[in-house]
Structure 1
Amino acid sequence: MKIFYGVQGTGNGHITRARVMAKELAAAGFDVTYQFTGRPSDQFFDMQVFNGYQHKEGLTFNTGKGQVNYIKSVFEAKPITFIKDVKGLDLSSYDLVISDFEPVTAWAARMQKVKVLGIGHQYAFEHDIPRTGSDPIAELVMKNFAPANTGVGLHWHHFGQPILPPIIETPDFPGEIKKNTIVVYLPFENQQEVIKHLCPFENFHFHLYSPVPVVSKYAHITSHPLSREGFKKDVYDCAGIISNAGFELASEALQLGKKILAKPLHSQMEQISNAAALKQLGYGHTMNDMQPDIIEEWLHHNHAVHITYPNIARVIVDWMKEGMPKMDKEFTEQVWEGVDVLQIEI
């Protein structure tokens, strides 16, 4: 089977998921072409697993000061370029298109009547899952940004719906952690403001990752540029993460048994809903803004949740090899039987 795979590159979560899928698709012998959009081409890193890939500008969202600005997103969009890219993408030689919430690929496939398989967290919102912070604009974006014929939704829990667990790498559980070490990834926040709120907690060591590293004058706050290997190592070693309420990083933290403090982007329905789900499930703590009292309480909290998820990328690839039969509740229930949730002390 020949596949065209489009990945939204605005955040690193989609790319991380695609890396895991790429390994399983290659192992299964599928011929895959990858396309990435959502950020400038020179801002992608550690892309070797994709064996060369296409890049288009695509669509993205304007973010700043911890929130999404939909009005600026519309004004900064380049509709003529987007339409040109959609019309210029020839999918006639492909048997299937996969979209990880990537709009150029999804809309090109729809225009050319090529079947689209949507894989990602966003497609879980087609079902009855925790949902808050919604508004007509958010609903419109979620439904039409990257439409698919078949959507495979991913979430931390099934909520009684035919959705699957997260697609993540499954490393060994850390045998030892650095109890006072915290990874901070808040790329949509003002980084100096983040440092200001963390500086009073001198008994903890913070590893702060951001797209544009800032200078930290505090010995207990180390600022890092984005680095896949460095970030993975620090997440593996740390006791917990402070991050926005993106899906993929929280999934990795749960798989590794790290405590979570999530600050959702304002005006971003998906992240607000993710934070609500973390709280509802008892999987993490949340804060609406950088609130020192909540940060302090969470830092001294020694409880976490360790979830062992099966290899969902392999489950999906095997399902594709079987002709993609209807992914009903019975199928997904069998998958969820392989999920193990454990409360731990750190």
Structure 2
Amino acid sequence: MTRHGPHHIHAGMRPALFMLRNLGTTCIASVTDMAVGYPQALVRRVGHPVMWIGGLVGMLDRRLNTPDATPAKRRANGLVASVLIVSVPTATAMLVDHAIRRVLPRWLALPLTAVLASSLVAQRSLHDHVEAVAIQARDSLPAARRAVSHIVGRDPEQLDMAGVLRAATETLAENFSDGIVAPLLWMAAGGLPGAVFYKSVNTADSMIGHRTPRHEAFGCAAARLDDLVNLPASRLSALWIILAALSMKGMGARDALRILRRDARRHRSPNAGWPEAAMAGALGIRLSGPRAYNGVSVAEPWVGDGPATLRPADLCRALALYRRACLIQTLAGVTATALLARASRRRRSNACL
């Protein structure tokens, strides 16, 4: 049997160790966010990473998206802005990640990096905001409208109670993909810098990726990039929802798969339709449909074939499905980490023979 020197072993093990570190970071970050979220005291004192990225987006929007620029100039400036929005935070995260690993021992560097990365995941925050809508919906329509106004872009004053509950359920499904699955997936691929890269893209899209007179040209690059980087997570989020439905009494896993195959591509978004269709099918309800943004009515197709007149109990069922999907995703990450760690140990053992 051929004997390998230590440098050869180190080089051969490097990709596996890199992936193992990223998966470990992802698992710890997921559990940390699930348990404690991002403390409001920190928001008040230092802000939130998304707020910092948002400050960069706003500054570039003001400086590069000038009213006198032609559409072509705005599109070119938007491309420059998108590159800066992504590269500056990602490069900063790479420097922070490198400094932590250089200064601290491995047993301390990994959990510290994971705790920092947990700020880029929104499991607990999303749950709490949607749960607030369910609670207020039992009280009054005005209270439910106020609660849902914090998480949706449409005009809440135009929504009846069923509309409020549908809006909250759609937000839960869509943000499960781009607020939880996507940052964790990019974290698994690239550690803390990978998660920051994704969050930069997503924040840019949420701020400037709109089809409005001001941002249609300037935000084009940000919107297209967001569609691309969210594509794998949207499919994976639908899978987690279907598996969650399969493991829960009273949920329709088969209907989730049927509605997913029929309605996901009919949605206005190339990605949001996947988790939304899976959730609509699992719960046996209808989502999406006509809505109003800034007083303008938009005729959107329905997703699902159940009743559209949701009750607070339906939103509570959606939250239960969401919690189970988050748990399944975390268990999948822990399992993948354990399997990779075992394979790495075997490989190191064989290389030493």
Give the TM-score, by structure 1 length.
0.32
Rg: which structure is higher?
A: 2
Give the TM-score, by structure 2 length.
0.31
Flag the structure with higher helix content.
2
Higher RCO by CA contacts (8 Å cutoff, separation 6 or greater): 2
Flag the structure with higher strand content.
1
